[in-house]
Structure 1
């Protein structure tokens, strides 16, 4: 999601009070408020697909999946991850979470640099976070950073399975990109099925 910078500096308490009354969503970063704008169709499809796959895959487990209406608090900063999974207790506040296990961001032109750098580094300071996921919407590519691999990144493409060890869950790239309209998805859907190996 893109965000436009507002000029006022406010405290976390002022931010939370204002956010509960606002019709628009805002992020708070270093005391500055940023209004968020809507995403593209592909962005929305990817966010919805990932949310549904996590929610269905985690049914019966002590994990909850949240979409972009739930805030994430890191120190005095507040973000709206596209998707996050929280396992166990995280009930400091009904309006934000502080202990996600997985965070997913769908990249866009306006947020790409921030999501890949400053936001990723802040998220990696969360003690409970095990996987930080960046999803391309204009091509079939996902990048996963894992704590147990010293935050080294791994790339996945259409036809691959992504293992989320922290959740004991595997997701198909094809399922994540279902109905998404880009050249990679079109080519993948038109390719003949692979011959089985003997």
Structure 2
């Protein structure tokens, strides 16, 4: 997206047209377009794993699961969530969604602060949103903020099952971290192997 030479803010219409023409994805925040950097291997694995688990568990339901190529519109801001689930969509535009039930972000060094604070607070203002989820890629930890509990956060670790109350499903944290390379995952797998050997002996 080629930004205007003047420093005026970009309208949602200009942004959407620019994204159709651009080879690089941008987020629109307070009228400013920000190019998105490429993601790490762990980031991609985590996004793909949680997407796959949700899609399998939601098969046959009215809910649809989207990955990072689908935009989320919040007022006049536009984001690309790593994963989101939409159950009751009232927006007919095929390039963005406005009524997600769940938004999931995999944290990285460059986006951590924004995902944990400003983006989370903006998303929590979406009437349809029930859960906002942050997944660590450098350790085995998932934080879930729940509207049903006044946006209180809950933490889940390897060996736990994360409960998505709004969808009526739960997913093993171990499955979300499948093939992810970090110290927590390595330690967890080693412990499981030791326990299996002890049980077999």
Instruction: State the TM-score bracket (shorter-chain normalisation).
Output: over 0.9
Question: Shift of the alpha carbon at 1:37?
Answer: 1.2
8 Å contact from structure 1 (residues 8, 33) kept in 2: no
Number of the residue aligned with 1:183: 183
What's the C-alpha RMSD, in Å, of the aligned pairs?
Answer: 1.7
The structure whose residues are more often strand, as a share, is: 1
The ranges of structure 1 where at least 4 consecutive aligned residues each deviate by more than 2 angstroms after the TM superposition are: 5-9, 88-92, 192-196
SS in 2 for 1:148: helix
Whichever of the two has the greater Rg, that structure is 2
Cα distance in 2 for partners of 1:184, 1:158 equals: 8
| Cα distance, 1:9 vs structure 2 | 2.4
Cα separation, 2, equivalents of 1:102 and 1:163: 12
CA contact (8 A) 2:49 2:175 kept: yes
For 2:141, the equivalent position in structure 1 comes to 141
Does structure 2 retain, via aligned residues, the 8 Å contact 1:71–1:95? yes
Q: Distance in 2 between the 1:193 and 1:54 partners?
A: 29
CA contact 2:89–2:100 (8 Å) conserved in 1? no
Q: What's the secondary structure of 1:47's corresponding residue?
A: helix
C-alpha distance in 2 between matches for 1:63 and 1:101: 9
Per-residue deviation, residues 116-145 of structure 1 (Å, max 9, x unmatched): 000000000000000000000000000000
State yes or no: 1:193 paired with 2:195.
yes
Displacement of 1:8 after TM fit?
A: 5.9
Match of 1:126 in 2: 126
> Offset of 1:169 from its aligned partner?
0.8
Instruction: Give distance in 1, aligned partners of 2:187 and 2:41.
Output: 19
Whether the 8 Å CA contact 2:89–2:98 is kept in 1: the answer is: no
SS, match of residue 154 in structure 2: strand
Give the equivalent residue in structure 1 for 2:50. Answer: 50
**Secondary structure, counterpart of 1:156 in structure 2:** strand
Q: How many residues align?
A: 192
The TM-score normalised by the length of structure 1 is 0.93
| Residue 92 of structure 1: aligned partner | 92
Contact 2:144-2:153 within 8 A present in 1 as well: yes
**Is contact 2:90–2:99 with CA below 8 Å preserved after alignment?**
yes
Structure 2: distance between partners of 1:193 and 1:131: 34
Unaligned runs of 5+ in 1: none
* Residue equivalent to 1:112: 112
Structure 2's unaligned 5+ residue stretches are none
